[in-house]
Copies of this chain bind each other. A is one copy, B any other.
Amino acid sequence: MLIFGPKLTLIMKLQLSTILATLFISTGTLSAQAQQDSLMMRKIYDEELVNGKCYENLHYLCKNIGGRLSGSANAQKAVEWGKNLMEEYGFDSVYLQPVMVPHWVRGEKEKGSIMVGKSTIPVVIAALGGSIATPANGITAEVVEVHNLGELQALGEARVKGKIVFFNGPFDQRYIETMRAYGSTAAQRSMGPALASKLGAVGAIVRSLTGTLDNYPHTGATNYGASKPIPAAAISTLAANQLSDLLKRNGTTVKFYFKQSCQTLPDILSYNVVGELKGSEHSNKIITVGGHLDSWDLAEGAHDDGTGVVQSAEVLRLLKTIGYKPKNTIRAVFFMNEENGDKGGAKYAELAAANNEEHLAAIETDEGGFTPRGFRFDISEKQLLQIKQNWKALFEPFEADLMVTGGSGTDIEPLRNTRPHVMLIGFQPDSQRYFDFHHTPNDVFENVNKRELELGSAAIASLVYLIDEHGL
């Protein structure tokens, strides 16, 4: 006799309940239409989980191209790769949208150190995107620590002038979604250096935007607005803690030194990459799904936003492969320049208006290739209720049924102005690990999980199918 231990009995029970739960045909609780939809979604998921291509596409983008900041040779390679990929998949139409983009270059690897008495402690920094260089010998100055823009404003010019402002606002760990912690501290990076400059600072050092304690600098764009640019860099969270600690113990005897040689070159021509499955009934009605092709130069732009790019192409590949004939035109867009200018998103919205395209919906995937949780819809709570009533049960067996109101995404946001009837939707994966990688040298292919990525592609393809079939 073979022995069935309690563990195996348990597994077998799970197994049985799966068959009932995930195939769920003729359960009686779904309408005939919903049953057909659920079968189509099952088809999408099966194709993706068994034959998915997005992971190998991501591998190519990360390993054969790598970091691809706007204006770089790699960005151009990525454009060509994207166009070829979609042409190879045989989409009905593949084309480029020319767009002028900023061209910022980092230059030599940055240097930073804390100086206390006779000690010099090297620390990890990286110039913020858009920052100017320091003088060739670097900058050395006394440090003033603040935790947000309000604190800095309160200090006033007298206590800031001639100093390096050290923005040390930490992530508030109490937020469940890390994106919200990011939202509540991001201003110190995007607007902090401009305010520091206004108050006479000679430089700005910004605590990396992450809840982890690591030794990576997390770069990202800063915006000087009308202020005179001053050199600005991100510092790792571990180094930020060290600096803060030394400041507490040694006060004004602490100085900070940093040197960077980044610069902004003239704007340069680049492209959004667009692929389409033509609608059989309403070819001028568009459902767009997109991510951004550019990425920071420090790594491979895996989660930000290689995953969004390969998922967007995969949505069209999936629908085509299972033989689905869309009523409306389904479009994948690889936006250029999300990281430091948002020019691709703006151009896309401008052309959508110029070409008088009706957009039913635009879905952005730019929060990493993690396990899907669901979607954020830019609609009223009342409209959301209707969507949940129609579709939530369909996504439940796939554990991607979170449906909330809220934002959409940087690249599709400009459509709001030019195509006011568009429904903006953000794909929402699990957020816990995103800021472990975001804008760091650690945003590499190895940190993406194949199944998590594929489940995202299938979830988005399912939503596209439902919108195409039933409208919103």
Q: A15 on the interface (CB 8 Å rule)?
A: yes
B178 touching A451 by the CB < 8 A rule? Answer: yes
Q: Closest residue to A414 on the B side, CB-wise?
A: B6
- A402 interface residue (CB < 8 Å to B): yes
In chain A, positions 389-423 with a C-beta closer than 8 Å to chain B are 397-399, 402, 404-410, 413-414
| Given known A2-B225, A432-B451, contact A397–B7 (CB-CB < 8 A) | no
CA distance A373 to B11 in the complex (A): 19
Residue A173 contacts which of B3, B195, B451 (CB distance < 8 angstroms)? B451
- Confirm or deny: A97 has a beta carbon within 8 angstroms of a beta carbon on chain B: no
A342-B5, A407-B13 given as contacts; is B49 within 8 A of A174 (CB)? yes
A131 CA to B316 CA in the complex, in Å? 49
Given A46-B174, A449-B436, A450-B212: A186 and B399 within 8 A (CB)?
A: no
Q: Are B226 and A410 in contact (CB-based, < 8 A)? A: no
Contact of A5 among B183, B190, B397 (CB under 8 A): B190
Q: By the criterion CB–CB under 8 Å, are A449 and B433 in contact?
A: yes
Instruction: Verify if A244 is at the interface (C-beta below 8 Å from B).
Output: no
Which residues in window 174-194 of A have CB below 8 A to B?
174-180, 182-184, 186-187, 190-191, 194
Q: List 27 A-B contacts (CB under 8 A).
A: A1-B226, A2-B194, A2-B195, A2-B223, A4-B191, A5-B190, A5-B223, A6-B413, A8-B187, A8-B191, A10-B408, A10-B409, A12-B183, A14-B179, A14-B407, A15-B183, A15-B184, A18-B177, A21-B404, A45-B174, A173-B451, A212-B450, A371-B371, A371-B430, A399-B402, A399-B430, A432-B449
Taking Cβ atoms with an 8 Å cutoff, the residues of A that contact B are 1-15, 17-18, 21-22, 45-46, 49-50, 173-180, 182-184, 186-187, 190-191, 194-195, 211-212, 223, 225-227, 342, 345, 371, 373, 397-399, 402, 404-410, 413-414, 430, 432-433, 436, 449-452, 455
